[in-house]
Structure 1
Amino acid sequence: MKIVRVTLAIIVIALSAYQLITENFELMPYSMLFFGATMLVTGLVELQKDRKRFWGYMSIVVSLFLFFVSIQGFLIN
């Protein structure tokens, strides 16, 4: 899970840096989708650790919101 989380975080950082440098925000739904996946993996890891249940559930809720926003971004563009 750690490798997946780090890989997704690197993808999000690379997409965000590209968007900031070029000022081309057409890739925003993709970065939101990958950030939602990152938050989902983070929430699942927190729930598996069974230490901070609130933050695990909160990460999953935020990831669902990010998935919703990214799907809207795909449909609008």
Structure 2
Amino acid sequence: MLKILRYVLSGVTLLFAVYGLITNNFELSHIMMLLLGLTMLVMGLEEFQKERKAKGWLFVVVFLFAIYVSIQGFLLS
């Protein structure tokens, strides 16, 4: 379940990134950061399930930072 969710979130994030690069329209970058953060959260949960706590916490910290950046993007745009 988490693996499928990780692949879906990664694919959608990649689509937003490619769209921004091709069109030079970066106003959707905060949504891309939100999706990237959610991907990191899912990866962190997978690591916790595999009993790799250090990597799990690292992914959770990256998730929190990405969410912070995304919220700043929403508020400033």
TM-score in same-fold range (> 0.5): yes
Aligned counterpart, 1:61: 61
Structure 1 CA distance for aligned equivalents of residues 45 and 4 of structure 2: 14
* Aligned-pair CA distance for 1:30: 0.3
Unmatched 5+ stretches in structure 2: none
TM-score normalised over the length of structure 2: 0.96
* Aligned-pair CA distance for 1:53: 1.6
Unmatched 5+ stretches in structure 1: none
Structure 2 CA distance for aligned equivalents of residues 64 and 5 of structure 1: 17
Q: Pairwise CA RMSD of aligned residues?
A: 0.5
Over 3 Å off, 4+ runs: none
TM-score normalised over the length of structure 1: 0.96
